[in-house]
Every structure is written in structure tokens, then in C-alpha cells.
Amino acid sequence: MNRERWVGIVLSIVMGLGCLNSVVWAQTKAKNEENNKIAKSITQEWIEELRHGELKVEGDRDAVNDLILARNIPIPYNYISILMRTPNAFGQGPACIVCHSSSDPAKSYRGLNLSTCEGIKKGSTEKPVRPIFKIGQPAKESILIRRLRNNRMPFAVSFAAPIDSPAIQKVRDWIRSGAPNDENFKENVLPLFSQRGAFASEMPACTECHMSNQEPPSFHELDLSSYEGIILGADSVAKGVAHATKIVIPGQPDKSPLLQRLTENRMPPGIPPTENRDHPNTLILMRWIEQGAPCN
């Protein structure tokens, strides 16, 4: 083999090694950068944000939002367990497990056991048997979170007010029939929303708070004075008509927020309706559900 060829081979090897070293160096640099990124603890990130004025924590709600939820910190079941056992955990009232500690309907309301992770996931065992949340479903729409956030209507209605009154049953039957704009609706359903005491004794009429799709004066831009307003739903101005919150799901009364608000009491029992519905612990519980409700 002549000298020139040997030189060519050697140069090819050297150049190849150089290219290989460049690739290895680039990969090593990227890995080091990633390692440095991983090595930076949550605490360090938090301190840097404070130093640069990117974060201001004022009060429990800000602390939960900025230090936990914004960073998607895993919520351990141990904390959820504590919440279920602690009075005033979600607002003024007794601990959840005082009323819900067994799957036996003879020992616990709705046969709902909130004292174990498995019991929370199982949900109520008394008919209608159903889970109180579903993985993958928006936590805010789950039975569990609805009961912790949503006040029963009319506002400040007694916890003990019946949920199967003739008026409520008329609304239920109308939705179940497909929520048509027929004579039954016009004569037997629509008048209920403008009648004082229709859904609870001595309570104001629904239209005293919900009379147009403008806020103010109508709360949540909800108009219960007409068929069109009821079908349109809430927050049609803030969200846009196409994205308004539907309060009636034709054919499905139990999934309709209108009926839910007439029948579902906010938990814990007796909690003041003015209590902030986005309690920090409620937000943490929602995040636990969104993270798959792990039991570890």
C-alpha cells in the first residue's frame, strides 16, 4: 500500500473520530444541561422566582396555587386521608367521615366510605349506585367536587328542604322528556322559576337573581325567565354563546346543572352559602383526582 493511501486512511479515521467526538460532545452537553435542569430543586426554582419578582405568595390560596398546583406537585393520598378526617377541612363543618365511613348503607349515608382510598374510588353503594368521580372526567364536574363547591338553589335554602317536591319533579320530568318548548313547559314549568317559594318554602323566586344574560344584574348571565334563556345557559357573554355553560341536558336530568342545583346540598352539612367555594383544600383534592387519584 502506497504512502498516500495510508495517509488518506489515517485522515479518514481521524476525521471520523472527530465527527464522532463532536456527536458525543453534543450529546454529553445536552445530557449535562438536562441533568442540571433536573438537579435544580423545586425549592431553588421557587427562590429564584421570588428573587426575580416572578412570584408573590400572599395567603393560603396563593400558596396552594403557586407552590403546589402551578408546579403539579404529586398529591399523596395520605393528605387526602387527613382531609376526610379533619373538621372544617373544606369549610365550616364536621369531618367527612363522620357521615361517610362505611360501604354499609345501614351505617353510613349513601353507603359511602370516605375513610379509605378504595372506598372513595368505589363511591356510593346505596341505589343509585355510582362513583363520586371518574378518572379522566373533569374533576370540577364530578359528584364529589360539585358537592364541595356548589350551593343548592335557591341560595341559602335549608339543608333539610325536600329534593323530591312536586315542583322539582316537574322540572325533572320536563328535562327527561327532552326539554321541549311545549304547552307543558309553558304552563307547568316556566312559571315555577318566577314564583316565590316554588322550590323551597319562603325562598325567593329564581328570576330575582337570574333574569337576563347580562351581569349585572343577572348572576352568571343566566336568564330563567324564558325558554331561550334556559336553553342558552350561563355565562354566554363571558364565554361566548357557543361556549355557554349548558344548564339543561335534554333527556338527562341528573346530568343537568339546573336540576343538580335544585337537589344537591353543598357539603359539609350546614356550611354557610357565602363560604368561598374554591377552598384551598378543595383545589388540592381536585388536583389529586386529576393526577389519577393514587392510593400511595
pLDDT digits (tens, 9 = 90+) for 94-141: 999 999 999 999 999 999 999 999 999 999 999 999 999 999 999 999
For the chain, give every domain's residue range: 74-151+271-290, 166-263
Beta strand residue intervals within 209-295, DSSP E:
none
Residue 59: pLDDT above 80? no
Q: How is residue 274 annotated by DSSP? A: T
pLDDT range class, residue 31, cuts 50, 70, 90: low
Question: 271: which 3 cell numbers?
Answer: 356550611
- CA–CA separation, 163 and 143 (whole Å): 16
Taken in order 36, 37, 38, 44, the sign of the CA dihedral is positive
Is the whole model's pTM more than 0.85, yes or no? no
Is residue 277 within 8 A of residue 151, CB to CB? The reply is yes
Question: 104: which 3 cell numbers?
Answer: 354499609
Is residue 66 within 8 A of residue 58, CB to CB? The reply is no
Q: How is residue 70 annotated by DSSP? A: T
Backbone angles phi, psi at 16, to 5 degrees: -60, -45
Cα dist. 167→16, 233, 266 in Å? 84, 20, 20
